[in-house]
Chain A
Amino acid sequence: MKRDPIYGTMAEFDTPQALIDAAKRTHEAGYKKIDAYSPFPIEGLAEEIGFHFNEVPLVVLIGGIIGGLTGYVMQYWMSAVDYPLNIGGKPPHSWPAFVVITFEMTILNVPRFAFASKDRFFLIVFSSDKKYHRAETRQFLESLAPRSVSEVPS
């Protein structure tokens, strides 16, 4: 497959407000494959570029449930099934004593995944966007009053 020589067209802005307005107008103009870069999180920016679905909370929830279950089942199996020992007359399955480790395993097992850095704000329209047209897109971005517009080679 022939690779597009251009990765996208990028506009540069001075303030977070300008970026967020530009992102909104670009999205409204029908560009879908866009992204914005900023040196700190800007509230509402992700929504403006049409990014709504966030899988992080779900992954965390599943990780926590798996961790907690593992912690409890591990203690149950080791103390009550595999090698029951009578310690101080406590039942082999002494659930109150198992709470602490279950809790710790819940927290621990939350998956350890991880996923423009100074003072400017950028907005890019990727060349893979259906509506992307080299000249037109450039013209459109220029209409947003950026500091500059440039093409990003791939």
Chain B
Amino acid sequence: MDEQYKTAVDPERAPVIEPGHTFGTVTEKISAIVLTRPASNGWFLGFGIAFMLTMMLLYSIGYLFLKGIGIWGVNIPVGWGFAIVNFVWWIGIGHAGTLISAILLLLRQSWRNSINRFAEAMTLFAVACAGVFPAIHIGRPWLAYWLFPYPNTMKVWPQFRSPLIWDVFAVSTYATISALFWFIGLVPDLATLRDRAENRWAKLIYGMLSMGWRGSARHWHRYETMYLLLAGLATPLVLSVHTVVSFDFAVGIVPGWHTTIFPPYFVAGAIYSGFAMVLMLAIPIRKIYGLEDFITERHLQNSAKVMLATGLIVAYGYGIEAFMGWYGGDRYDTFTLWNRLHGPYAVPYWMLLICNIFIPQVLWIRRLRTSPGALFFVSGVILVGMWLERFIIVVVSLHRDFLTSSWGMYYPTRWDWMTYIGTIGMFLALMFLFLRILPAISIFEMRTLLPEAEVKAE
């Protein structure tokens, strides 16, 4: 508690919570968004658009099931198109949520308390969007359950030496643990909502979800142990999920994929894009709901610094890839490097370098790190850049096969775009709903940040 208090009032830095708040005002302000504030027209408009995009997603998936994946641009040699690009992009975005909630908790970074809840929600929704793609990509989605080991009449089992099966386990574990972590974090706040709700149904539903939480010292004691342990378990997941995703590439012998730099550089890239998404959500949310007291300049700055650091790791990854393409002496690797720089997909490659490496360097400037508008813009640029990175990895390596006779090109069709934009709509729609029915900031963790919460050690 001591440290938390000090960081909260350190005059050198922007505070984690603006001064003047008490236990009551924190509770009031956060729960009011859910309980008393009526939904605004802006909310209905935003949710409406997001909902229509979700419908577009369902429509394009429905048509896909009817026609087969021939409606997409994928073909031999590029069998992995938008579906895999988007899958990796979404899974990566989810990583920031887990990093914020688990690793920063273990490192006692108390500033995380005001952004962990919606970052975790973001993780869950991003994983949901990611999960759509492999399932619809397999061509016969009704047989997706073949990926799981279950006793069957064919008497065969999944191929456990394949990274694609590892991925099934990694992603399903990740989704489960993220959901669990999020829910456990919500329980005390659901109890607060239960006690404060006026509406009978709201009381009943929040009451059931809060599972009899009363805030007893025994509850809190077990709860804190549980939460720490879950954080400890989720921490290796932050590193492992994208590592396993990178194995999908690195274990194959395709030039440009078969490299040991992939796991760390994928993980860094995931956190990079994840923090960009956190900022793109946090900046409008704090503005619209007047939460500048809780999501302060400090949070924006810290997130920007994380982006700067992980962005440099990503830049290092690109550098090593290029260096090894030249130094390794393998003619296919050398060609892949040349092809990235000068081939038919050179424009997206240079755009990727601009978006991921050059533009984010403006974050070295303190004034831009504290300006919500500039951060929002840079975050958007990073998200585009990280999407292009996966596009380059998937498409450029595949479209030039080992034999020139099997070279080809990949052009996404409108169905590819509709599915991709549809998942963005689904993500936003879920986010809009989340803001209205659950506390977007952890109420009880905010209470612990207040100076009044301090107790003297014996």
Contact = CB atoms under 8 A, between A and B. Distances in A.
30 contacts: A16-B453, A35-B216, A36-B217, A37-B214, A38-B217, A41-B448, A42-B455, A43-B1, A44-B458, A45-B220, A54-B221, A54-B225, A56-B229, A64-B233, A78-B158, A79-B161, A83-B156, A85-B156, A90-B161, A97-B160, A104-B173, A108-B169, A110-B230, A114-B183, A114-B184, A115-B219, A115-B222, A116-B214, A117-B194, A117-B213
Nearest to A43: B1
Interface string A30-74: 000001111111111110110100101100100010000000001
Nearest to B456: A17
A48 B455 CA distance: 13
A2 interface: no
Nearest to B2: A43
Interface string B162-194: 010110011011001100100110011001101
A149 interface: no
A75 B240 CA distance: 19
Interface string A106-140: 01101010111111000000000000000000000
A54 B226 CA distance: 10
B452 to A, nearest CB: 6
A153 B101 CA distance: 40
Contact of B229 (A37, A57, A101): A57
A100 interface: yes
B37 interface: no
B24 A118 contact: yes
Contacts of B223: 41, 115
Contacts of B191: 117
Contact of B455 (A20, A82, A97, A112): A20
A39 B215 contact: yes
A37 B191 CA distance: 13
Contacts of A60: 229, 233
Interface string B200-236: 0000000000010111111111111110011001001
Contacts of A79: 157, 160-161
A114 B149 CA distance: 28
A75 B160 CA distance: 7
A23 interface: yes
B216 A87 contact: no
A103 interface: yes
A40 B447 contact: yes
A107 B173 CA distance: 7
A118 B195 contact: yes
A94 interface: yes
Interface residues of B, number: 66
A144 interface: no
Nearest to B195: A117
Contact of B221 (A51, A64, A83, A119): A51
B445 interface: yes
A7 to B, nearest CB: 13
A56 B222 contact: yes
B222 A54 contact: yes
Nearest to B224: A41
B416 to A, nearest CB: 30
Given A40-B453, A54-B225, A107-B237, A46 B160 contact: no
A148 interface: no
Contacts of A104: 166, 169-170, 173, 240
B184 A97 contact: no
B215 A117 contact: yes
Contacts of B23: 39, 118-119
A43 B226 CA distance: 15
Contacts of B236: 103, 107
B426 interface: no
Nearest to B26: A119
Nearest to A17: B455
B27 interface: yes
Contacts of A150: none
B157 A83 contact: yes
B82 to A, nearest CB: 26
A36 B220 CA distance: 10
A114 B222 contact: no
Contacts of A119: 22-24, 27, 447
B366 interface: no
B159 interface: yes
A95 to B, nearest CB: 11
B213 to A, nearest CB: 8
Contact of A100 (B24, B166, B177): B166
Contacts of B367: none
Contacts of B149: 74, 78
Nearest to A37: B215
A74 B148 CA distance: 12
A97 B160 CA distance: 7
B167 to A, nearest CB: 9
Contacts of B448: 40-41
Contacts of B1: 43
Given A49-B217, A78-B158, A85-B156, 8 more contacts: A36-B216, A44-B457, A83-B157, A103-B240, A107-B237, A115-B222, A118-B192, A119-B27
